[in-house]
Amino acid sequence: MPRVDSPEPARSRYPLHDGLIERAWRAGGCALVDCLAWSLGWSWITPDANPALTHARELALTDLARMRREPVPLSRPLLILNGYHAWAGVVESVRKQLARITSGNPDDILAISFMDQTCFDAQRRRVLDETARWVGLNTPVDIVAHSMGGLVGRFCGTTNHPDGRTLHIERLYTLASPHRGATLANIATPDATARGMRAGSDFLKSLDASPTTVRRLITFTHAKDPVVGAHNTSLHNEHPRWCSGSRVLSHFSVAHNPIVLATIARELRSEPPLFDWPPSSLPTT
């Protein structure tokens, strides 16, 4: 994968992984998230209601095993963006999973968390600063973003910001992101980020109207999502790619859904799609 200015290993250019305490925090969180996803998420999986995904889970699990055995270099740097005040272990778990089914090297992927930040401007700054130190802002990237992270990714791709900085985003994959607003944001708004995720907020209107470098936006969701609401997870007049999800933690388990992971990984590996996702397949919940 191309780097900038120096042939140094990716880890030495990756500030989020430099400190022992930070690495331990992320590793411990990742182990807990992995255990939780397995014990509470996929042990409670519901049958796929999407007619395009008949036997898809079994096919995806088989294909994920193949991809783990046959790593393929990434064509572009890959960023993983975390959700609203989410623990770093969540994004670290996604980073580890995607590394195993793409290049095999976790240091090819930059994972960014926003646990301590309360506004979209600060979150955007963090992504741009970390990416600038890692590969530079002129390098095209792909992004996988969970929940609020999808909005941060889109915000980083806007080209009308006063500071003139932007990310060049080839593909932005969003997992249960509140592109039309979040259900819970209409109930509780403890900070500026939450207020920005209200349906019809000034931030969302501005985001929809802003010019962007994002060349492809691919949205995924779980049908049963009480946090964001499945109908909110795509742009207006568009439909997300949806799965039925899990009986508990459905908003969070989308990032561990083997069908979603297999779909994204095959695109990152420049392989043909495993499933057909009809654009008319819109969840009703």
Q: How many independent structural domains does the chain possess? A: 1
In a domain, 17, yes or no: yes
- The CA-based angle 148-150-154, given to 5 degrees, is 125
Query: Does residue 120 fall inside a structural domain?
Result: yes
- Summarize pLDDT for 193-230 with one digit per residue, the tens: 999 999 999 999 999 999 999 999 999 999 889 999 99
Asked whether residue 5 is assigned to any structural domain, the reply reads: no
The answer to whether residue 3 sits within a structural domain is no
Tell me, yes or no, whether 2 lies in a domain.
no
The answer as to whether 141 is a domain residue is yes
Residue 207, H or E segment: helix 202-209
CA distances, 114 to each of 98, 160, 186, 201, 246 (Å): 20, 23, 21, 21, 25
Which CATH number is 128's domain given? 3.40.50.1820
On the question of pLDDT at 46 being above 90, the answer is no
Q: Which domain holds residue 221?
A: 10-268
The pLDDT confidence band at residue 3, using thresholds 50, 70 and 90, is very low
- The pLDDT tens digits of the residues spanning 62-106 come to 999 999 999 999 999 999 999 998 878 888 889 999 999 999 998
Residue 86 has φ and ψ, to the nearest 5°, of: -80, 145
Residue 238 located in a structural domain: yes
Longest dimension (CA), the chain: 50
Beta bridge partners of 150: none
Distance CA(145)–CA(109), nearest Å, equals 12
Q: For residue 93, what pLDDT is reported? A: 87
